[in-house]
């Protein structure tokens, strides 16, 4: 084709320069607390608990700028098995090491004091500052007993919601735990998991929990104060 105006003609490759997409992390700090059922009933899926924690941490590593972890070993308080803090504000790798070292034993009946453990841990969870988000992840086995105080699961869920905490529970289906999670609203998530999960199920649960936390962080950032440059 003639070009009477003498304007240079660019090739199609020159006219459409390639732009490389760069994945950016949410400029937020996730404070994740793992409550792991350490009773004997959890022994069959003890490796699964570790795999889920690893998967969640891997997901958050790719999505948020910072993630610090706490780990609590939970037992059945009806059998003098107290909550044991294993890690406070540590690195994700330290959280995985703590979970790997849990001795899964105890618990003399089918139901556990899951909700009571949640209520007690709530008193130990950190407060979120600007650009921070607190996430509580509970890995359970078996149904939960009622709260000792007579407080309903809904009332406990509302307490977590008032503290602006993202809650993810993975375990067997339990009406009391469902009621607790439902009361939290948009930041409450329940993920049913089998007694003998395979690798694909563990990955699916870990990915869904990680995505739920990231989604809640993204939503919360709309109301988070921006960091002021020093």
Residue 40 has what pLDDT? 76
Any idea what the Cα angle at residue 220 is, between residues 216 and 221, rounded to 5°? 120
**Domain residue limits, the chain:** 50-220
Rounded CA separation 176/179 (Å): 5
Q: What is the pLDDT of residue 222?
A: 44
Give the predicted TM-score (pTM) of the model: 0.84
Cβ pair 181, 166 in contact under 8 A: no
Return the pLDDT at 115.
98
* 107 exposure class (CB count in 10 Å sphere: 0-12, 13-18, 19+): buried
Q: What is the pLDDT of residues 61-110, one digit of tens each?
A: 999 999 999 999 999 999 999 999 999 999 999 999 999 999 988 766 78
| pLDDT in the model for residue 5 | 55
pLDDT at 108: 65
Angular region, 80: left φ>0, alpha ψ -120 to 50, beta rest: left
- Which architecture characterizes domain 50-220 according to CATH? 3-Layer(aba) Sandwich (3.40)
Low pLDDT (below 50) residues in the chain: 10-13, 19-22, 222-230
Question: What pLDDT sits at residue 195?
Answer: 76
């Amino acid at each position: 084709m003639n070009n009477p105006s003498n304007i240079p003609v660019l090739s199609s490759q020159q006219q459409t320069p390639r732009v490389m997409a760069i994945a950016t992390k949410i400029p937020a700090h996730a404070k994740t607390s793992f409550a792991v059922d350490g009773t004997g009933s959890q022994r069959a899926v003890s490796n699964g608990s570790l795999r889920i924690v690893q998967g969640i941490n891997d997901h958050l590593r790719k999505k948020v700028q910072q993630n610090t972890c706490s780990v609590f070993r939970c037992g059945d308080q009806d059998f003098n098995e107290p909550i044991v803090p294993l890690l406070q504000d540590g690195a994700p790798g330290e959280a995985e090491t703590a979970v790997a070292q849990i001795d899964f034993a105890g618990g003399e009946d089918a139901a556990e004091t899951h909700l009571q453990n949640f209520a007690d841990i709530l008193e130990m969870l950190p407060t979120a500052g600007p650009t921070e988000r607190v996430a509580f992840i509970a890995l359970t086995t078996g149904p939960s007993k009622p709260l000792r105080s007579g407080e309903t699961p809904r009332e406990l869920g509302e307490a977590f919601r008032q503290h602006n905490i993202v809650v993810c529970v993975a375990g067997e289906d339990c009406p009391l735990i469902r009621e607790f999670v439902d009361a939290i609203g948009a930041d409450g998530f329940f993920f049913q998991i089998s007694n003998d999960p395979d690798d694909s199920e563990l990955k699916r649960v870990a990915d869904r929990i990680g995505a739920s936390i990231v989604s809640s962080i993204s939503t919360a950032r709309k109301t988070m104060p921006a960091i002021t440059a020093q």
